[in-house]
């Protein structure tokens, strides 16, 4: 895990599940996590990967991502079935014992009752030794955090119900602000000017342009992102001046 600089805290998301890769299930967690991390914690998601339920691939990706990013969020693979192998794979990655977490076991046993607390449900209480729990108010089965890796379920509604319980484990960074302007033009008409403005602001502002087609008209949304409000407003003003200079409000 890299040292955390509060000015820049970053994260990666590792989506684990054959059902995502096959197309049977649509991922809804990336956009939610990315938005929540930035707006609530000032953490910027810099990379997203989707991998199958294969232990060696999980281990390899975890070892790479946990070294390169302040935090790694995994989704999926912590349920009761044979292909839910995220916790076991993380135990291997961190070279620690895969075992029952006493508190997790107690939570699940109380939730299901001893008579219905079968082997599959018991499996959800197993995780790497040294893990801390992320409580689950919906279906009881907790997520967990070990070092800088946060493991969450793949079911979007359950993940969302748990997310506020993650916050206490995170070091916050600067929240990235954004402003946008919608132009009715094609990207090539403004690409040269945007390149010049982007060079001027270098790493202070991230400028993105995104084409759209709305009510029969082609356009471009120019989105500016920065943690500095003054830089953001200054850059937006410069783009507006550039547009006005083209002498056509509807370019």
Q: Which residue has the higher pLDDT, 7 or 248?
A: 7
Q: Which CATH superfamily is domain 9-169 in?
A: MoaB/Mog-like domain (3.40.980.10)
Q: What is the pLDDT of residue 251?
A: 47
Please state the domain extents for the chain. 9-169, 177-245
Secondary structure of residue 238 in the 3-state scheme: helix
pLDDT in tens, 79-123: 999 999 999 999 999 999 999 999 999 999 999 999 999 999 999
91-100, 187-196, 213-222 — most confident range: 91-100
Q: Give dist(CA 141, CA 85) in Å, integer.
A: 15
Q: What is the pLDDT of residue 4?
A: 58
- CA neighbours closer than 13 Å in the CB half-sphere of residue 8: 7
Q: What is the pLDDT of residue 6?
A: 54
> Which segments of the chain are extended strands (E)?
9-16, 43-51, 71-75, 98-100, 126-128, 132-134, 143-146, 149-152, 177-183, 206-214, 217-226
Q: Could you tell me the pLDDT band of residue 1, with boundaries at 50, 70 and 90?
A: low
pLDDT in tens, 20-41: 999 999 999 999 999 999 999 9
CATH among 3.40.50.300, 1.10.10.10, 3.40.50.720, 3.30.70.600 for 177-245: 3.30.70.600
Q: What is the pLDDT of residue 215?
A: 87
Which is nearest to 40 in space by CA: 153, 225, 171, 232?
171
Q: Could you tell me the pLDDT band of residue 5, with boundaries at 50, 70 and 90?
A: low
pLDDT in tens, 227-244: 899 999 999 999 999 988
The total number of residues written for the chain in this structure:
251
Q: What is the pLDDT of residue 170?
A: 97
- Output the average pLDDT for the chain: 93
Cα Rg, the chain, nearest whole Å: 22
């Amino acid at each position: 895990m890299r040292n955390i600089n509060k000015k820049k805290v970053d994260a990666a998301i590792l989506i684990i599940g054959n059902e995502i890769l096959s197309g049977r299930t649509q991922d809804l967690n990336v956009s939610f996590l990315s938005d929540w991390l930035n707006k609530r914690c000032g953490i910027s998601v810099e990379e997203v990967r989707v991998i199958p339920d294969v232990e060696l691939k999980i281990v390899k990706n975890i070892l790479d991502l946990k070294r390169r990013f302040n935090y790694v969020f995994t989704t999926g693979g912590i349920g009761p079935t044979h292909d839910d192998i995220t916790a076991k794979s993380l135990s291997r990655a961190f070279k620690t014992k895969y075992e029952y977490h006493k508190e997790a076991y107690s939570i699940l046993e109380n939730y299901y009752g001893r008579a219905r607390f079968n082997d599959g449900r018991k499996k959800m209480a197993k995780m790497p030794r040294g893990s801390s729990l992320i409580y689950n108010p919906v279906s009881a089965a907790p997520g967990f955090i070990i070092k800088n890796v946060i493991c969450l379920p793949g079911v979007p509604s359950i993940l969302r119900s748990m997310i506020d319980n993650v916050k206490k484990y995170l070091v916050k960074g600067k929240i990235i602000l954004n402003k946008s302007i919608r132009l009715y033009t094609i990207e090539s008409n403004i690409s040269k000017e945007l390149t010049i403005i982007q060079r001027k602001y270098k790493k202070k502002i991230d400028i993105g342009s995104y084409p759209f087609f709305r009510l029969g008209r082609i356009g471009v949304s120019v989105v500016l992102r920065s943690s500095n409000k003054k830089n953001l407003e200054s850059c937006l003003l410069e783009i507006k001046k550039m547009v006005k200079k083209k002498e056509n409000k509807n370019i």
